[in-house]
Amino acid sequence: MEYINSKVSGANAVVSKGDAGDSSIIISPQHLKEVCRQLKDGEHEFQVLQVITGTDFLAENLIEVSYILASFTKNSELILKLRLPRGDENNLPKVDSVVEIWKAADFQERECYDMIGVEFLGHPDLQRILCPYDWQGFPLRKDYVTPEKYLDMVINPISKMNIEDREFGAKHAHIKGASTSVDNYKVDPPATVSETETV
């Protein structure tokens, strides 16, 4: 943290220690590229970008973007995070692309854009990578509602759903982390023919 703040004025790097899991460093989004360049080219030698992912904090109206960096020469790892206003489909959260720093960011930024709706400014080809190009919405946002159909194809047909898992999630929604979107689990099981009925 001190290293980042000493090298990049205004980065405002702070350590975030969670109740569980790894600690991370949160920075100001406006200085992402400068910070990443320092982390890669500076004394810590974070030459590898392993993961870019996003998390939707609906109640806080924030999207958190996380970058997991690794240095094989120093045998170290860093989770770098930034927080952006959530916005909406007409005003997506924006942050600079880091493709010119790590080529591995290319598909990862596209996936983060596709799934959670973060626009990476300066990306050479920012378009959907998992969903069709004309898909509406961002599937990993907490308020996302799965459409019933796409081009006359039924999405999530009942015959392909694991009803037992969905019922488990709905019944155990009171357990922290078991289900954050109970509405997605409200699915009636398929009709079955009882043993006493004749066909």
pLDDT of residue 172: 66
Q: Which pTM does this prediction carry? A: 0.79
Is it the case that residue 123 has pLDDT exceeding 90? Answer: yes
The closest of 148, 88, 149, 147 to 119, measured between CA atoms, is 88
**What ranges do the domains of the chain cover?**
2-144, 146-192
More confident residue, 68 or 190: 68
Write out the two tokens for 103: 């080529």
Q: What is the arithmetic mean of pLDDT over 11-35? A: 92
Give the 3-state secondary structure of 99-160: CCCCCCHHHHHHHHHHHHCCEEECCCCCCCCCCCCCCCCCCCCCCCCCCCEECCEECCCHHH
pLDDT of residue 37: 97
More confident residue, 103 or 178: 103
Is it the case that residue 182 has pLDDT exceeding 70? Answer: no
More confident residue, 111 or 161: 111
Q: What is the arithmetic mean of pLDDT over 46-63? A: 96
Collapsed DSSP state (helix, strand, coil) of residue 182: helix
Enumerate residues 6+ apart whose C-beta is below 8 A from 132: 150
Which CATH number is 2-144's, of 3.30.460.80, 3.40.630.30, 3.20.20.70, 3.60.15.10? Answer: 3.30.460.80
